[in-house]
Amino acid sequence: MLADELLAETLARTPLSPPDRALATELFYGCLRQQLALEYLVHQLVARPPRTVIAQILHLGLYQLLFLDRVPAHAAVHETVELAKRHGSVSETKFVNAILRKTVGATRDQLLKNAEPWVRLSHPLWLWKRWSRRWGVEQTTALCEWNNQSPPVYVRVNTLRTAPRTPLCYPIADPTGLFDSPSWKNGELYVQDPSTLVAVDVLDPQPGESVLDMCAAPGGKTTYIAQKMQNRGRIIAADSSNTRLGLVGENCQRLGVTIVASIPCEGTRLDRCLRGDLFDRVLVDAPCSNTGVMRRRPDLRWRLEEKEITRLAELQTKLLTKAAEFVRPGGVLVYSTCSLEAEENEQVIQHAPAGLTLKTQRQLFPPQDKMDGAFIARFTKK
C-alpha cells in the first residue's frame, strides 16, 4: 500500500480535529521524507539500536524537536514519552525520555554536521549520485531541499463552471474544508499543480477538435483539455486501469465536462479499440518514475529502484511510437512525463518515429521553476 493510501485509510477510521489531522499528516509525511536523516540521528544518539517500534517513536519525537517549529519542545517530549509508555517497557520509556531531553536545545545542523550530504538531505545514495553527475552538487542540494518541503495545495479554476480568474492556478493558504466548500462541490475548482497544466498549454487544443489523451487517469489534464476546448469537440480518454478511469468520469461529471468518452485500454494496444481513427491532437502523459514530483510522494524515494527507470523508458518509447499512429497529417502530438531523468525524456524523444517533427521541448526543474518537475515535447506530423 502506498503512503497516501495508508494515511487516508488510517485517518478515515480515526476521529481527529482538523488541527490534529493536519499535525498527524505532517508527522507522517515528514518522518518519511527525513527517514535517512532520522536513522542517522538515532544511530548517533544511542549506543545500541532500539527495537523498531521504539526507533519509530524516537523518529516522531526527533522530527518535532529538530524539523518543526510549531510544536513546543516540552509538548513534543511529553507526547512522545506517552507514546513510548503505550508501546514499550518502563526502561524503554525512560530511554526515549532521556534521548529526547538530551536533544532539546540542539539544532539539526549541529547534529547532522558530520553526515554525508545525501544522509543530511535524506535521499538514497544512488539518486544523489545520479543527480550530482547531471546537475552538480549545488543544484542537487537545492532539489533535495525542495523535495523535503511540505508541498502547497494548488487549485485550478474551472472556467466551465465559473468566470475566469487570474491566475488560473493558485495555492490555497489553508486547504482545511476545501472539499466541503460550495466552490468545490459546484465544480468550480480542481486540485492540480501548475506544472501539470503546461503539457496541455503546449498541446493547445481548440474548440471543435478531436483529441486523444492516451494515459488519462485520474483526469486532471483531460478536464483541462476540455476546459480549453470550451467543452466543444471530442476527447477520447484512455487508461489501462478501469478503477482509475472511473475517476476520470467522476471528475468530468463534477466539473461539467460532457465531451469525454473513456476507453479502458493500455496505450500500446489502443489500435484494437481505435481502428483507423485519427485525431487533431494527441497527448501522451506517460507513466514514469515520478522523480519530478518526489516532494508530493514522500515514500517514492525509498520505493524507487534505478532499474525501474530503464524499464519505464522502454514502455514510454512504445507509447510514443503508438501515439504517432493516431495523429492526423498536420496534427500535433505532445509527449510529457513528471520525471527528471534523461532516459525517460530526452532519450525517449530521440526515438520518435519517422514522420514526427520535434518543435519544442522543455524540462521543468523544481528549484528553478518553483513548481513540480516535468518534461514536455511537442511534435507535428508531416
Positions annotated as catalytic residues are: 338
Q: d(Cα 270, Cα 39) in Å, to the nearest integer?
A: 46
- Check if the beta carbon of residue 87 is closer than 8 Å to that of residue 103: no
Question: 79: Cβ–Cβ under 8 A, 6 or more apart, which residues?
Answer: none
Largest CA distance in the chain: 75
Q: DSSP label at 343?
A: G
Q: Is 364 helix (H, G, I), strand (E, B) or coil?
A: strand
Handedness of CA 196, 210, 332, 273 (dihedral sign): positive
The rounded distance, in Å, linking the Cα atoms of 49 and 42 is 8
Alpha carbon separation from 369 to 29, 365, 374 (Å, rounded): 23, 6, 10
The rounded distance, in Å, linking the Cα atoms of 144 and 329 is 43
| ∠ CA 295-282-319, rounded to 5° | 70
Closest to 293 (Cα-Cα) out of 204, 191, 372: 372
Residues shown for the chain: 382
CA-based nearest residue to 226, from 265, 190, 182, 264: 190
